[in-house]
Chains A and B, each alone.
Chain A
Amino acid sequence: MEVAQDLRYARTHEWARLEADGSVTVGITDHAQELLGDLVFVETPQVGRRFAQGQECGVVESVKAASDIYAPVSGEVIAVNEELAASPEKINQDAYAAWIFRITPADPGELSALMDAAAYAGMIDAGQG
């Protein structure tokens, strides 16, 4: 399992990356894709929709199970990764490259309050994930 160093993490296994333009890119972690197994369907949020932090905003489905994606920060969705509709397996191949959506954060403080890589790795090791 890989935990990318430069990202922030939610307890619900989303990663979040602050971009140069102030937007936040969101995906699910390598640990999450490993738990789910082969992904076969990704339901991305609609561009333009607003979500509160922790709100359900999409779904990833593997052969085995469906799992909700929760917004790691509040804000408005400005882009989704269209590639995932045809190739959900890209998340299995590289969970940190296969982003799911991009959001304009309403409160930048929420991002810095998320876990860093060490804290997330520690949470998984403690068996809470």
Chain B
Amino acid sequence: MAIELQRTALHAEHLAAGARLIDFGGWEMPLHYGSQIDEHHHVRRTAGMFDVSHMLAIDIEGARARDFLRGLLANDVARLAQPGAALYSCMLNESGGVIDDLIVYLRAPERYRVVVNAGTADRDLAWMRERVRPFDADAVLTPRRDLAILALQGPEARARFWSAVPSLRAAAEPLAPFRCAESGTAFIARTGYTGEDGYEVMVPAGEVVALWRALRGAGFAPCGLGARDTLRLEAGMALYGQDMDESVTPMEAGLAWTVALDDARDFLGRGALEQRSPRFHAHGLVLRDKGVLRAHQQVRTAHGEGEITSGSFAPTLGMSIALARLPRGTASGEGVQVCIRDRWLDARVVRYPFVRRGRSLLDTAQ
């Protein structure tokens, strides 16, 4: 039996734009529209847009929504000081492994919106439903498959968005990074997954085709998941399922900064996290020889063996980079070897992100 892939409201637009479609977590999504490297450069240099409607928004509302989320997430939603704030967090299992990473937006007191990954959405929802039960009507989960999500990214993304949709400018323009606002049916956040400035915008699925066309008219290049992956890798952002999963803790995945341990708050996985000492840490790698670093390649260091979790060619840098799990004690600047097709090639351990706001951080950071 063939498995029917899910499609977003923009499926026909993708085909019209020449998209090469792939199965991504059960969704038929654009990989690229011709050249993923060109798309990557569009985002670093001007403005690109991504259909990320396969990701799932879940609204969590009720008198105790905050209490529920404080117990559910490793980061503390109490840090969301006022409506319009956003927070990145991991959701952990009892042993401290990462079930998913997500963004929480505080829309109004006790009204939250969480956005989770596509491939994990069903499990996330089941996990949350199991744990929200005791809260009864005081924390109600509503998956929002009725919403489409666009990521508009690049140095010119904000200005082009204002000109494409003047009616949303008043809400969008004043937003500081990691803040969100709503206007009419639109939800706008100054967030993203590329290391560039821009917005993530949600609208009812029935309105997204008109929005997409308006944005194309304003010069946004349609970009696929291929470019999204090289952009996020250069930006040093972890990808669920590759750089972390249920077998690793946030501390092991370079996400210790997202775990709020500063008070006695009891959250799922905390007990295990405090007992477990990290087996390895996440580092950046730059390949010094010719070739391409890829996930699962073996790494040899002075401190023992490690493994690449994400690797690719970095179009902004013109070389191959990776995120890797390396033994404790490994430090930036050290030389290591990576096994590529039975040959050991030289690489260097570096701090990441590799690129931010269009610029390489490699030379200034080390």
- Give A residues with C-beta under 8 Å from B: 37-38, 40-41, 43, 59, 61, 63-64, 66, 85, 89, 92
Contact = CB atoms under 8 A, between A and B. Distances in A.
Interface of B: 20, 31-32, 35-37, 226, 230, 290-292, 294, 312-313, 315, 320, 341
Given A63-B230, A63-B312, A63-B313, A41 B36 contact: no
B292 A38 contact: no
B292 A66 contact: yes
B312 A41 contact: no
B111 to A, nearest CB: 40
A128 to B, nearest CB: 18
Among all A-B residue pairs, the 4 with the closest Cβ atoms: A40-B313, A38-B37, A61-B292, A41-B292
A38 B35 contact: yes
Given A37-B226, A41-B313, A61 B32 contact: no
A38 B315 CA distance: 10
A59 B31 CA distance: 22
24 contacts: A37-B20, A37-B32, A37-B226, A38-B35, A38-B36, A38-B37, A40-B37, A40-B313, A41-B291, A41-B292, A41-B313, A41-B320, A61-B292, A61-B313, A63-B36, A63-B226, A63-B312, A63-B315, A64-B31, A64-B226, A66-B292, A66-B294, A89-B37, A92-B35
Given A37-B31, A37-B36, 10 more contacts: A37-B35, A40-B37, A40-B292, A40-B313, A41-B291, A43-B290, A61-B313, A63-B36, A63-B312, A66-B292
A117 B20 CA distance: 25
A53 B35 CA distance: 32
A85 B291 CA distance: 10
Contacts of B292: 40-41, 61, 66
Nearest to B315: A63
Nearest to A92: B35
Contacts of B291: 41, 43, 61
Given A59-B341, A63-B312, A64-B226, A41 B35 contact: no
B341 A63 contact: no
A41 B226 contact: no
With a 10 A CB-CB cut-off, give which of A40, A85, A89 has the most chain B CB atoms: A40
Nearest to B35: A38
Contacts of A85: 290
B19 to A, nearest CB: 13
B321 to A, nearest CB: 12
With a 10 A CB-CB cut-off, give which of A40, A63, A85, A92 has the most chain B CB atoms: A63
